Structure formats: structure tokens, C-alpha cells
Structure 1
Amino acid sequence: MSTGVTYPNMEDRNTVCCFLRLPQLFSTCVAFSLVADMGIWRGSIGNWSMSIWCFCFAVTLMIVTVEYFDFESRFPFFWYNLPITYACYAILLCLLTSIIYSITYVRFLPDGPLRDRAMAASVLSCVASVLYGIDVTFVWNYYGFEEITCYVHTLPGLLKVLETFVACVIFAFLSNTSLYLHQPALEWCVAVYSICFIWAALAMLLKLGDWENILPVPFPIFQLGLILLSVILYISALVLWPLYQFYEEFGGQPQWSSDISCIYDLMCAWIQQLAVAILTAINLLIYVADLMYWACQVSIGTEDQPRNF
């Protein structure tokens, strides 16, 4: 099937590789190496940051390999969808990592080689975020998405990116299992985050792969149903998570001062609980916006259907 898409020629591919992809690999790899070299001083935030930089490096390397050996046509979806979608996530991930790593760890380090190394890693993470942003701009201009719609440059695509990204940040905080284990209500909240993330990722995959036609119902109705369920589930999480984390009647801690570890650790358990609650509310708002969009789409589609009198 003809798509009207022309893949970059060798000259354009080499330009992108030399001026964007190789610097992306360099910045994420060096940031990872600088923090890894800190040994036991890198802390839990350092380990989390390293995992983000390692992920970005690995996916960028895969993209470089595919483009270098001209394997784009072997993918079951249009190749440009993958790099530009990944680059959108990488912008957010690298920027968020540099901010969190700086404000929760770097600024508390004493002056010396360790602090210099951590600051350099934060700067390189910011540089990587900028490079991924330029990558998105280049792909947009090259393929001419004014004529060919790229999913992540549409409103529903952007909302899906935000939904899954916020969920990933929530999962980062939930890596501290002591926040919810052995508490059924809080374990339900974790299940909600996981289920809604899987649904959003599934919808995105169907759209990226142009597989909407395999569904037994029209894609807008499918989306509307999933998002409506996600909104209901997130409402339950928004009620239960703060209730069982911050109210004494349910075993919670109403103030940060009640968690002694907060005196010494800016990312103590109470702060992590609060972060999850705030991110839950943010993601609920994103899902509500998504629900309104697809409700309008389904309504317009229904009005366009021929009526029998």
C-alpha cells in the first residue's frame, strides 16, 4: 500500500546520525558512566537516573542500527512513527531526570569531584533532551507531516504520550514497595495504574501500526470505552490513595513531620506518597480531556450516519 512517505536517503541519514543520533548516544552514555563511577555515593535517585539514561541509549542505538542497515521496510508499521514517538518520550524522560537528579541529590552533595561529576551528568541529560527535541523537529520537517499525519503530533496521540509518561513516573515512585504492600486498597491503586497504562499502550500500538481495522468495533468507540473505564478506575485511585496514605483513621500519616526519615531524605516515603497522589490527579485530568475528545468524535460520527425515516 502506498503511503506517500519517502524514507531519508543515505546523505540525510548520515546527517541525522552525525549531528543528532551520535550526540544522543554520547550524552546519555557519558551521563550514565559519570554516575555509575560514583559507586555507593550515587544513591537510589542515581540508580533511577542511570536506568533512564541506559534505556535512552539502548533504544537510540537500536534506531541507529536499523537506519544504518536500511531495515526500515522490515517493520509492520511506518518506520517514522517509532523514532518520533520514542523521541517525544526521550525529551520528557531526560528532562525530568535532570531536574529530579539535580534538586533531590546533586545540590546536597559537598563541593568536590563527586558533585562535579553529578552536575556534569545533569547537564548532559539536559543536552540529550534538547537533541531529542531537535530530532522530532527534523523528522516532522523531512516527512512533511502537514500532508501526512503523524500520530504523536495529533491531540489524541499527545494525550496518549502524556498518559503513559505520567504512569511511568508513578511506577518510578512505586518501585518503593513499602508504600503499598500488604494494604489491599493501595494494592488496588497500583493495579489501576498498571491496567490503565496497558490499555493506553495498546491503543497507541494499534494506531501506530495502523491496525484499527482488526477491532470488532469502530476505533473511536473502542477508545471511548477504554478511556471511560480508565477515568472510573483513576477516580477510585484518587480517592483511595490519599485516604489510606494521609488519614490517621486508615493508618496514614497526615503530615510529613510524622515521617522521621523526611528530616534527612528529601525523597522520603511521605514525599513519594504525596507525589503519587499529585500525579494521579494530573493523569486523571489528562484522561478526562481524552474522554471529552473521543466523546466528541463519536458524537460527530453518529450525527454523520444516515438516518432511516
Structure 2
Amino acid sequence: MPIQRAKSVGNTQALTSQVGIIRLLEALFACVTFSLVVHQGGWEDRSGDWCMFCWCFCFAMTLLVLLVEFVGLQHRMPVSWKNFPITFAMYATLMCLSASVIYPVTYIQHKAPSGKTKDYRIAATVFSCLTCLAYSMEVTMTRAKPGEVTGYMASVPGLLKVVETFVACIIFVFISDPVSYDHHEGLKWCLAVYCICFILSLVVIVLCIGECTGWLPCAFNKFLSGYTLLAVLMYATATVIWPIYNFDSKQRGQPRRPSSCSTSRSFCPWDKLVAIAVLTAINLLVYLADLVYSARLIFIQA
């Protein structure tokens, strides 16, 4: 009788390829990180909740990506598999990066623990950095290479969209606690800039992941260049207006850090205003780079 070969349970290449191994490491490092924190590292308040959410969310989503590719359900998913995994990997990189900064600053530097608690928090920080590094490696390995035909989110402009939305989310956190935009019309305009540009970038990401770019009434690349140019102009105004009405004494701003901030172990309201000004300038540079790449797409395809 002929010997029957055992049928493969799933796509083992999804786990044994270079990208598959990186994803397994991502899940492992994220699991170790939140396990250390839960066991004895400890976390509290909203900063700790954010860090824990980052690690748990990234762990769960990575397992989902591995499962889908192992079972071979990519074509049955209601999203574009050319765009979804790298979009998630880019968001995961930024989320783990933020957690790798927030957790040690808040729970090692400011809380000043001792003994085993400090050791566990240091170990959790190390594994959080390793998780961030693993996700950044996945982004590097799966992003579009020159001349390669792939999803828009795997290109440089697509990845920049992720950065734009993530930076805007950090701005929203700082600008809302405490509310720092309601004492002048110019600051309300800055808030409008952050919201409008965030929504437009998020719409582009959703359209790409849902493969709905054909719904636009104009060519997708022209829409990208038009809205990115608008975002650059709007962010340029916010980059100027925000510091003027917060730090210029002639506009009832506070140019120097108040003495009350010296006794604070965390960001005081003045520090958050500075952080918003810096993040606004950073996002302006990101949108400028996005505009350059989006314009190149038009000339290449023209």
C-alpha cells in the first residue's frame, strides 16, 4: 500500500519565515513585558493604563495576524492584507516606543521604587524596548522596496500617515488635560487644525485598508497631494500661533516655566504647552515629507 503523507495543518511558512519569526518575537516580548508588570512591577493611573494597553493590544493583534496567515484566511478578511499588517506594525512600533518612554520615566524615575519592584520595572522596560525594536524590524522588512508593487500603506507616504495620526493623538491628550485652547480664538484654530488634519489622515488610512479608494470623486494620488498641501499650510499656521498665544507675554502668555512646576514630579500644564508646540512642529515636518513623496507619485504616474 502506498504511504500517505500527513496533510499540513496550516501554512507553517507564516511562522518559519523571517517575518513570521519576528512576529513570534513581538508576541513573546510583549507577553513578557506585561507579565513582569502584572507580577510585581505594578502600574497605576492613566500613564500605567496606557502602557498596559499598548503591550496587551499589540500582543493580541500580533497573535491575530499570525493566526490569519497560518490558517490562510487573508483573502477572506474584510480588509486589504497588503495594507493591514504593516499599518498595525507601524502603530505598534509607535505605541511600544511611547510605552518604553512613559513607563520608566513615570514608574522608575518619578516613583523611585526599590528592591524587587525596581528590578521588575527595569526588566519590563528592557523587554518593552525589545518589543518596539521587533515591530520596527517588521516595518523595515515589509515596507515597499523601490519598484515593488504593493499596498499604499507599505510606502513611505502611507507610513507617514500613521505617524501623523499618532502624533495628533498625543497632542489631543496634552491639550485636553487641562483644557488649554479655550482662552483665545487663535488657540481654537490650532485645535481645529489638529482635528481636521487628523480626520483626513485617518480617512486615507481607512480607505486604503478597506480598499475603498475608488469611492473618491477624483484620482487618489491627486487627492493625497491636495489634502497634504492643505495640511502643511494649516500646520504652518498652528506652529506659529500656538507659541505666540501661550508664551508671549504681550498676548498674556507665560514665557518662563513657573516655579510651581519645579515641585511637580510629572508634566505640569506649562510643560504640556511646550510639548504641544514641539509636537506641532514635528507633525509639520512629517506633513512636509509626506507632501514631497505624494507629489513624486503624481509625476511618476503622469
* Normalised-by-shorter TM-score class: 0.7 to 0.9
Structure 1: segments with no counterpart, 5+ residues = 1-8, 305-309
Q: Residue 165 of structure 1 aligns with which residue?
A: 166
Q: Residue 156 of structure 1 aligns with which residue?
A: 157
Q: Residue 121 of structure 1 aligns with which residue?
A: 124
Q: Residue 176 of structure 1 aligns with which residue?
A: 177
Instruction: Give the Cα separation in 1 of the matches to 2:30 and 2:67.
Output: 17
Structure 2 letter corresponding to 1:48? W
Q: Residue 214 of structure 2 aligns with which residue?
A: 213
Structure 2 letter corresponding to 1:125? S
Distance 1:218 1:41, change over 3 A: closer
Quick check: 275-284 or 124-133, which moved more? 124-133
Secondary structure of 1:178's match?
Answer: coil
RMSD: 3.2
Structure 2: segments with no counterpart, 5+ residues = 1-9
1:97 aligns with 2:99: yes
Q: Residue 281 of structure 1 aligns with which residue?
A: 281
Instruction: Give the Cα separation in 1 of the matches to 2:36 and 2:188.
Output: 36
Secondary structure of 2:179's match?
Answer: helix
Quick check: 109-118 or 219-228, which moved more? 109-118
Question: 1:12 Cα shift?
Answer: 0.9
Question: 1:33 Cα shift?
Answer: 4.4
1:1-309 aligned at under 5 Å gives the runs 10-15=11-16, 19-35=21-37, 42-108=44-110, 109-136=112-139, 139=142, 147-181=148-182, 184-256=185-257, 258=258, 260-298=260-298, 304=302
Distance 1:299 1:78, change over 3 A: closer
Structure 2 letter corresponding to 1:126? C
Distance 1:247 1:40, change over 3 A: farther
Quick check: 121-130 or 265-274, which moved more? 265-274
Instruction: Give the Cα separation in 2 of the matches to 1:211 and 1:40.
Output: 43
Q: Residue 3 of structure 1 aligns with which residue?
A: none
Give a deviation string over 1:67-105, Cα, whole Å, max 9, x none.
344321123443142112211221232123213332454
Q: 1:35, 1:42 within 8 Å by CA — same for their partners in 2?
A: no
**Normalising by the residue count of structure 1, what TM-score does the alignment of the two structures yield?**
0.79
Q: Percent identity?
A: 42
Question: 1:139 Cα shift?
Answer: 4.5
Q: Residue 7 of structure 2 aligns with which residue?
A: none
Distance 1:53 1:188, change over 3 A: farther
Corresponding residue pairs, total = 291
Distance 1:263 1:45, change over 3 A: same
Instruction: Give the Cα separation in 2 of the matches to 1:45 and 1:39.
Output: 14
